[in-house]
Structure 1
């Protein structure tokens, strides 16, 4: 029985086609991610620098949200300070 693999891209290309002309694959996909398949399984994803930056920013935002939630949970134990007296 063959395993089922999730593909997180609207555009797919075989490894052979990718090797033949990676620049054409990138042009065809535009700003969308490309799943490069090896034996019908995702081998890797190709994304543009713009999309990669957006993903990194989203991950950083999620980390900040987590930190804010942790600190909000501790706000009852916070000590009030006056920044002008520092």
Structure 2
């Protein structure tokens, strides 16, 4: 069974153990597929890319909440009542 590798760069577990920063630098800011017996087992990504992914996921989640609530009734409130 073939396994898709979702990055342009890959490295073996042994290479990662020898020099993890060098492996990450090979990705030039992008993901590096870490292989075990020629099968991807995980992806190593720089911290800033991980933060961007999390921010994007949060934006998508918030957009879904907005979409779900766009037809909810509006409740008017007087600021003086608060």
Contact 2:34 2:42 in 1 (8 A): yes
Using the TM superposition, give the Cα deviation of residue 4 of structure 1 relative to its aligned residue in structure 2, in angstroms.
2.2
Would you tell me which structure has more helix in proportion to its own residues? 1
Matched, 1:78 2:78: no
Question: TM-score scaled by structure 2?
Answer: 0.85
Paired residues, what number?
Answer: 82
- Which portions of structure 1, spanning 4 or more consecutive aligned residues, are displaced by more than 6 angstroms? none
CA distance in 2, matches of 1:81, 1:52: 40
Counterpart pick for 2:32 among 31, 34, 59: 34
